[in-house]
Structure 1
Amino acid sequence: MIVTGLAAGVGAIVLGLAWLRRAYVVVTVEGESMLPTYRPGERVLVRRTGPRRLRTGQVVVLARLVEAAEDGQARWMIKRLAAVPGDPIPRATVPALRIAPGTRVPDGHLVVLGDNPRRSLDSRRTGYLTADRLLGVVLRKVESTDAPRVPRAP
């Protein structure tokens, strides 16, 4: 009877850890596009989320524009949301969208900017990014190296 209860408790812990690994990941910052907010080498905790839960101003992690890596590792970019679907197109701050049709950001698209414009490949140059690149929202910086590894970029 005690063994059955112990096994159930261990099973619940394992299921809880599996859920956490799917819901949260840690990403290492590469490059200088988010200086001074995030520095290269810092690690951030990311909550996986869908595009419908995003808000302008949040910092997100997306698959890089240039799919990478000879080493097989995922390549991500960290940017700040300037506009989400339904928001007015920020033409004044995003030159690549000055002649975009319509007045609102279309469904399935995001406008993202790095905090360091001189070192950021973002919507200023590329226009919209598709929401299918989204990994999740940055919650905070982390110090631990015990967090789950990030999956490969799509």
Structure 2
Amino acid sequence: MTAAWIALAAALPAGLVWWIRSRFVVVTVNGGSMRPTYEPGDRVLVRRVAAERVKAGDVVLMASAAPVLRGGEGLGLVKRALAVPGDPVPRERVPALAGAREHTVPPGRVVLVGDHPGSDDSRQYGYFPLADLLGVVVRKLP
């Protein structure tokens, strides 16, 4: 084997690890706002995606700059996207948006809810900025 092949063979695993880490992150759910879908302590695999790729129904990871977590701890907020830009504003499901002037969710915003009815989310805080999106939950890990 030539030196070039040995160097390539050594670089491939490091490159693969970098590629995986640049596209995925493992997060531990903290809190019960996503019960029964995810319990506290569950680990989930999150794929980093652009905000434009989020669809209504996706479970997303938002940066902790979101209003619900100010003063909280952890990497971010795990919630379900109820409505994305261009979707009708879900006034009946989200009281904080009852007086919204828009008929559709504005660009750069998303409506987030926890699966548990007692969750702190858009029902209290209204829209969340899509700029805080870190990724979409792909699956629960064993």
**TM-score, reference length from structure 1:** 0.85
Distance 1:68 1:102 in 2: 30
Residue 135 of structure 1 aligns to a residue whose secondary structure is strand
User: In the alignment, is the contact (CA less than 8 A) between 1:67 and 1:75 conserved in 2?
Assistant: no
User: In the alignment, is the contact (CA less than 8 A) between 1:79 and 1:114 conserved in 2?
Assistant: yes
Alpha-carbon distance, 1:77 to partner = 1.2
Q: Could you say which residue in structure 2 is the equivalent of 1:111?
A: 111
Alpha-carbon distance, 1:2 to partner = 2.5
Runs (5+) with no aligned partner, structure 1: 144-154
Q: Could you say which residue in structure 2 is the equivalent of 1:19?
A: 19
Residue 79 of structure 2 aligns to a residue whose secondary structure is strand
Distance 2:60 2:42 in 1: 15
CA deviations 1:56-87 (Å, max 9, x no partner) are 00100112323346xxx643111011000011
Alpha-carbon distance, 1:27 to partner = 0.5
The correspondence of residues 1-154 of structure 1 with structure 2, limited to 5 A, is 1-64=1-64, 65=67, 66-68=69-71, 74-118=74-118, 120-143=119-142
AA in 2 matched with 1:83 = A
- Identity among equivalent positions (%) equals 45
Which 4+ residue blocks in structure 1 deviate beyond 6 angstroms?
A: none
Distance 2:19 2:61 in 1: 20
**TM-score, reference length from structure 2:** 0.92
Alpha-carbon distance, 1:50 to partner = 1.2
Distance 1:76 1:121 in 2: 13
| Cα RMSD after superposing both structures | 1.4
Alpha-carbon distance, 1:16 to partner = 1.8
Residue 20 of structure 1 aligns to a residue whose secondary structure is helix
Alpha-carbon distance, 1:32 to partner = 0.4
CA deviations 1:28-64 (Å, max 9, x no partner) are 0000000000000010000011110011001001123
